[in-house]
Amino acid sequence: MYLEAALAARDQENAVQISRKLLVNESEVYVVRDSLLDLIAVDPVHFSDKNVVIKGLEDGLLMLSKPIPGAYPGMKVKYIMDEAQEAKTTAQP
């Protein structure tokens, strides 16, 4: 059995698609400010099985690219730019 569907969709300005694994409490994400993690509220506008489209991020904020086990606001982190100029974040002891 196959399904063909035509869906009505709209463009979202100032939105970004991220992994659902990065979403905390369904409406927050971790960002790095002055080498510390901060948990900020975002507005999820579309969910798929693996990703979510969110709005509400300021330009230039560094957001985690992978979840950090045991992360908490105020946790000291170190980020390293890789060859593709993506920040890699690691927790500091």
Signed CA dihedral, 83, 92, 23, 61: sign only:
negative
Q: Where are the domains of the chain?
A: 15-91
CB 76 within 8 A of CB 55: no
Q: 20 by DSSP, 3-state: which?
A: helix
Mean pLDDT of the chain: 83
pLDDT of residue 12: 73
pTM for the whole structure: 0.75
pLDDT at 2 over 90: no
